[in-house]
Structure 1
């Protein structure tokens, strides 16, 4: 078992983006690093060609209990124990990400969205300090102008049995490329189960709005009260939802920080594939020249 694994939930519309990410995983991680991709059953054939020694393709039914099933023709799910309301697809995606991570025995799991690519070699020691897995955290990153993040904090604290936060701002733990400790994820699942009095999966997926990253961060820092090392330099982010032209993409790539192992141009920007690949090539040039 490798000390490093990569976990990516994805689906058919992001297949081209995933191809770029997976190519970068093969290029920049060791030969024993496995990329775990999680897809809906309907997309299994589309991703089946990646399966092999470096890639494990999971489908939701392989991970979820039988009581949780997809509703026909829609990206929504249901839990037979509580059929209403239906479970949202993007929350199920978060849940299977957590479930697969908890199954792994790797020291570090890189959780990577489909629109991320690696741009430098990634080794386990880069994500560890004093044998602890680093945490992505932006101090005071969540303020009153971020109602979704504020709600995610409130929901996470409720699931973990913590009192409401006393005041804003709060830390932000949300990232398209983050490193998780599988043992901590297992502990978080157990804590949610204990607080809710039912399986963690049922409690987590019954939420209408939630963030797995905020749950993880709050659990680490407030439930465990762990003094974990912080690393906010893993990825070079472009969160804008406006498509980039080539000049803007290259200018973004030119700003690649020296510590970043990943680069992300948001899929929501609908940046053309040729522009995205131009940015990836420029990142390679920046790394080579540095």
Structure 2
């Protein structure tokens, strides 16, 4: 995505050190080395998508877990009113601004009650881990879904959340989260807001992601992409087609460009 830098909006791109030069060509973006957001005790394992935490070497940290630690660290460091987490398989297709993700000083909070049950065993595990990290009593499904594309967070809440994890575990939050085999940063944030903070943090709750999503691990062809894009809602500002689907990038870009001219995709005040 090419995003204009308008008013108070700032775009941060976090990539591995080997990709800094490539992404440094993005106009208006601040490009960061992923290591800036990790403790010094974290060491990347050569030839493997994983890391080692010298403070707790076992188990090694999978790349998926480290990615989530980076998101939490980057959001906690921000002084913005709202941070919008955007993975690389999300593309903005319509103009948007801060009003989409903040109302009366409260960050938008995505929640969809009753969506998670035994049909989604990984999501159930994520909830159980989140409750343990936050020192909450065990609970049984159904659970609320908090996984959102893109994900709006309040950095002040993230900082409070991480302090809670450290208070419960008695260890640095990155070490505690890095020791988990199953973890979702968005479930952790959602459970914290819903069950620890409550009102007023939940005052702007919604079940609308404003994003058309495709998460199946089955590739889309041109016809499938057209059918998918036919379902975009008037209020959607983005499209998420999971990289795990194997949908060819050139095909995806062509379909989006045909529906949404690049000149219409911008961040607004």
Instruction: Provide the TM-score with structure 2 as the length reference.
Output: 0.90
> Among residues 16, 40, 62, which one is paired with 2:16 in the alignment?
40
Give the deviation of 1:83 after TM superposition.
1.3
Partner of 2:252: 276
Q: CA RMSD in A?
A: 1.7
Say which structure, 1 or 2, has more relative contact order (CA 8 Å, 6+ apart).
Answer: 2
Task: Provide the secondary structure at the position in 2 that maps to 1:250.
Answer: helix
- C-alpha distance in 1, partners of 2:186/2:14? 17
Q: Is the 8 A contact 2:149 2:209 kept in 1?
A: no
- C-alpha distance in 2, partners of 1:131/1:32? 15
Residue 81 of structure 2 corresponds to residue 107 of structure 1: yes
* Equivalence map 1:45-194=2 (5 Å): 45-50=21-26, 54-165=28-139, 167-194=140-167
- C-alpha distance in 2, partners of 1:185/1:92? 17
* Equivalence map 1:16-35=2 (5 Å): 21=1, 23=2, 25-26=3-4, 30=6, 32-35=8-11
Residue ranges of structure 1 left out of the alignment (5+ in a row):
1-20
**Greater CA deviation, 231-240 or 37-46?**
37-46
Q: Is the 8 A contact 2:39 2:174 kept in 1?
A: no
Partner of 2:230: 254
Give the deviation of 1:157 after TM superposition.
0.5
- C-alpha distance in 2, partners of 1:228/1:70? 40
Q: Residue by residue, what CA displacement relative to the aligned partner does 1:116-148 show, whole Å, maximum 9, x if unpaired?
A: 011111211111223211111121110111110
Task: Provide the secondary structure at the position in 2 that maps to 1:164.
Answer: coil
- C-alpha distance in 2, partners of 1:82/1:89? 16
Q: Is the 8 A contact 1:152 1:209 kept in 2?
A: yes
- C-alpha distance in 1, partners of 2:66/2:249? 27
Give the deviation of 1:210 after TM superposition.
0.2
Q: Is the 8 A contact 2:93 2:238 kept in 1?
A: yes
User: How many residue pairs align between the two structures?
Assistant: 259
Task: Provide the secondary structure at the position in 2 that maps to 1:84.
Answer: coil
> Among residues 203, 209, 221, which one is paired with 2:194 in the alignment?
221
Task: Provide the secondary structure at the position in 1 that maps to 2:239.
Answer: strand
Instruction: Provide the TM-score with structure 1 as the length reference.
Output: 0.84
Partner of 2:267: none
